Chain A
Amino acid sequence: MRVFGIIFGVAASVISTVAVADKFGDPAAGEKVYRQCKSCHQVGDGAKHRIGPQLNGLFGRQAASHDDFRYSKALMRAGTGGLEWHADTLDAFLENPKAIASGTRMSFRGLKNPQERLDLIAYLRVFSDSPANIPEADPTASPTDHDIDPAILALKGDPEYGEYLSSECTTCHQTSGGDDGIPSIVLWPEEDFVLAMHAYKNKNRSHPVMQMMAGRLNAEEIAALAAYFAVLEE
């Protein structure tokens, strides 16, 4: 299932907020950026799983799909739900891994510089099938629509409104923080919460119920929920 390619197409033609629309990354520069990844990941000939999985053949693959690697529940869920690695999803993940899978074990704060991400993605692309051989394959690097306006992140939510809105969440998510089958959402840092909800809203995260619920919340409402859940006592 290619969820993200479609979103990307729409975003690029309609919104076109990102000025670097046709800029490609530089693999050589990406190799330097990759140094930050090396302590956990291997890529290239003979690469093996280490702390993180090996990164050959990454493009077009379902997230968390190496049978011989133990992933976090969160990333497994994302993969099962349809997350595949393409330039756009990788870009979102590399910017802030938690925006895509909140419970990922990849403890990396993210690459904030878009050029570094483009370069790194271009470098990793070298270790997947060559785009020249398969014309329909992913472009090496492409602009994305997941960037969240800092103004949105800066919004201060109204916790009273958040409490009312939260009653929609607690039909499924337990306020006790239980997480069997459905993940816990209490006591998250506000920023993680906001990023995750906007990722569902923009369909960068793949769960259909969450896309639907987040889809109709506006930025203030998401901020209100984040403010409420951040301080919820058990």
Chain B
Amino acid sequence: MTLNRRQFIGTSAAMAAALSAPMVKAQGKPRVVVVGGGAGGATAARYLAKDSKGGIDVTLIEPTRKYYTCFFSNLYLGGFKEIEDIGHSYGGLAAGGVNVVHDWAIGVDRDAKTVTLAGGGSVPYDKLILSPGIDFVEGAVEGWGLSAQNAMPHAYKAGSQSELLKAQLMAMPEGGTFAMIAPPNPYRCPPGPYERVSMVAHFLKQNNPTAKIIVADPKPKFSKMALFQEGWANHYDGMVDWIGEDFGGGNVSVDPNAMTVTIDGEETKVDVCNVIPAMKAGRIADLAGVTDGNWAPVNATDMSTKADADIYVLGDASSQGDMPKSGYSANSQAKVCANAVRGALTGSKVFPAKFANTCWSLIAPNDGVKVGATYEATPEKIAKVDGFISQTGESADLRKATYEESEGWYTGITSDMLG
């Protein structure tokens, strides 16, 4: 990918930001700290800085210098994108007035209202927004742990993991086997594993057509199932073997040294094994004490946590009700939250919460499908209002238009998040 103008400006602005970043505290302004510069956190930071026009001191804490989107990382596996197409700098946020601090948050002192950084020091806040994404539940897949993530990548956080999985896919022997261990609900991006199966199948069809894909799934059914299964039959006949809960797909163990997968007692030697374990909120939510079980329960009107009115949790880490864990959802929640936080700190008008989500998936070249819904805040949860889903048997023209729309969405959401 060539460097375009926006990225070029972004890079130089990021350098300027890196110089000025370490906590020059504006006097007397309300302070918001955002932890995690992904779909939720970047959007919240950008909107708070933009809409308060400098009236709020916004600090974003994010360890990585570049955000690789999980969305479209499957298209990278399929060969439709280069890795740099899905990597975005934080220069636009810095230029938009956000203090970007590249560090890990390792603790939250709720009494003192400070966030502790791995690099030393702490940052005070009036309001704290956590959008740390996901971590994996330990021991969720027998035989797998984080120490095995090089032998059996999850590629469910994008970047080097995606590159690793792609390299393994490319190195598969002729007629080899690609295994996926799919996650139980709830997890990040419900159609994600199945879009990945489609993209892996597309790659193999081009490069290694006698290869096989096995999916062990602890669920009896999955998102857009009819659409994916129709697509697999149309484009990759006989290549994908999906083993659902009913056939023992949930009874799985792996051996990363031997490169074997055992499904319902039957051991298979595989060439690549993509383990996507059960998920939970990113660890900092736990450390802040705002989780209950695996996720952080929040109030639907503003995404504030049930545990602490000054701490908000966005995106995948939150437990909010009916919205799926997606980049679109996190972005939508971030805007509602930013509006409410700004109102609480500056007295600006707070408008009623409105949420939406649409997830596009690519099944094969120009064969795109989508599912979406709108949501509202109720006293109990974020509740679904209305929705739609692509239909089986749609025309090739419509599927192509849907795919092109997803490209438009990608450009739209990344600039909406990162400026």
Contacts and interface: CB of A to CB of B under 8 A. Distances in A.
Interface residues of B, number: 35
A181 B328 contact: no
Interface in B291-342: 328, 331-332, 335, 339
A215 interface: yes
A170 interface: yes
Contacts of A212: 356, 372-374, 386-388
B84 interface: no
B386 A216 contact: yes
B354 A168 contact: yes
Interface size class of A (residues with CB under 8 A): 20 to 34
A153 B47 CA distance: 30
B99 interface: no
B374 A171 contact: no
A173 B413 CA distance: 8
A152 B374 CA distance: 24
Interface string B388-419: 10000001011001001111110111011000
A17 interface: no
Interface string B45-66: 0010001000000000000000
A174 B415 contact: yes
Given A164-B351, A173-B412, A209-B388, A80 B398 contact: yes
A213 interface: yes
Contacts of A164: 335, 339, 351
Given A81-B401, A215-B386, A216-B354, A174 B374 contact: no
Interface string B370-384: 101110000000000
B274 interface: no
B358 interface: yes
Contacts of B374: 212-213, 215-216
A180 interface: yes
Contacts of B328: 171
B413 A172 contact: yes
Interface of A: 77, 80-81, 160-161, 163-165, 167-168, 170-176, 178-182, 208-209, 211-213, 215-216
Interface of B: 47, 51, 328, 331-332, 335, 339, 349, 351, 354, 356, 358, 370, 372-374, 385-388, 395, 397-398, 401, 404-409, 411-413, 415-416
12 contacts: A164-B335, A165-B354, A167-B47, A176-B415, A180-B404, A181-B405, A181-B408, A182-B412, A208-B372, A212-B388, A213-B356, A215-B386
